[in-house]
Amino acid sequence: MPVKIADGLPAQSILENEHIFIMTEHRALHQDIRPLKIGILNLMPTKVATETQILRSLSNTPLQIEVTLVQTSTYTSRNTSSEHLLNFYKTFDEIKNLNFDGFIITGAPVEHLDFEQVDYWDEMCEIMEWTKTHAHSTFHICWAAQAALYYHYGIPKYPLPEKLSGVFLHTLLTPKSRLFRGFDSEFWAPHSRHTEVRREDIEKVPQLKVMAVSDEAGVYAVCSEDSRQFFITGHSEYDADTLALEYKRDLDKGLDPKIPAHYFPDNDPTKPPVMRWRAHSTLIYTNWLNYFVYQTTPFDISEKI
C-alpha cells in the first residue's frame, strides 16, 4: 500500500526518486478506490494451470483486482473442458467494447509456425491492436511477447537450434526502472521456447528499450517508450515443477529433450527441482500492477485510453 505523507514533506522528492510508493494527504483525500480491471488472454493449452499461476502472481499485492479470463473465438482449446471455458471464460467478441486497466497475453505452443500460419493469428492481431486503445498497459509473455514485437514493430523471431529450457541468470540493463524495484542486479527466470528475438533487432527500433538480458537465454524484458507495453520472453509465473512436467511430456513423446538447464540438483531429473525465481516473479507482477497500472490508469475507465 502507499505511504501517506504530509503535503510538502522534504522526504517526498527523495522517496519518489527511489520509486517508493507514496501519496500526499491531498491526493489521499481526493482519491476514489475501485478494483483494477485486469484481462487475461490465456492461449496456453493447460489453461487451468496457467490461470492459477498468473492469478497467484497477481495476488501478491493489497490492490483489489477484478480479473476477466479471455479465450479466442477462432480456436477452441482441446485440452480444457468446454464446461470450464463456458463457466469462466469470455470470448474477445464479448469483451471488445470494454476497457481494462491492465491486460495480460500468455504464451502459446505454436512457435514452430510462422505467425501468419497460426489458426487464430487474424484474431490475435485484432486483439493486439485493440489493446492500444482499450488497455492502459499490456503485459505479453513468451510467444505473445514475440508475436506483439512482430505485429507492433516488425521484429522477427528466429528458430533456435534446440529448445531453450531451464532457469537462467539475467542481468538488469535498466536497474532504475520501476518494473525492477526491489530486484537484485542479477536474477533467475525460467524459459521454455524454441525461438528467440534478438537484441540487435530490437535496438534498431527507437520506441523500444531492452531492459534485461541473459548470456544464455538472450533478451528477457523489453518495454515500449511510453511504458504501455511490456514484453517478457520467459515464464516468471511458472510453478516449481512446470519445467519438469514439460520435460516428462517431451520424453513420453519420444522427443529426446535436453534436461532443463540450472533446474534439477546435480542435473539429475530424479531429484526435486530447485525453485529460485519466486521472489522475482512476485516483484515483476507487483511492480507492473502498482507503477504501470494502478498509479497511472484513469479512475473513470470508460475514458478513452
Assigned C-alpha cell, 163? 529448445
- Residue 279 CB-density burial (10 A; 0-12 exposed, 13-18 middle, 19+ buried): middle
- How many Cα atoms sit within 13 Å of 288 on the Cβ side? 29
Decide if 176 contacts 221 (C-beta within 8 A). no
The residue annotated as part of the active site, out of 123, 235, 246, 280, is: 235
Rounded CA separation 49/58 (Å): 14
Rounded CA separation 30/4 (Å): 13
Backbone conformation region of residue 111, classed left if phi is above 0, alpha if psi is from -120 to 50, else beta: alpha
Q: Count the neighbouring beta carbons within 10 Å of the beta carbon of residue 87.
A: 9
- Residue 256 CB-density burial (10 A; 0-12 exposed, 13-18 middle, 19+ buried): exposed
Rounded CA separation 105/91 (Å): 14
For the question of residue 235 being annotated catalytic, the response is yes
Strands (E) across 157-244 are located at 158-172, 186-196, 208-214, 218-224, 229-232
Handedness of CA 95, 86, 121, 257 (dihedral sign): positive
Q: Quick one: angle between helices 278-287 and 47-58, nearest 10?
A: 70
Distance spanning both ends of the chain, measured CA to CA? 25
Decide if 214 contacts 170 (C-beta within 8 A). yes
The residue annotated as part of the active site, out of 142, 152, 196, 280, is: 142
Question: Active-site residues: which are they?
Answer: 142, 235, 237
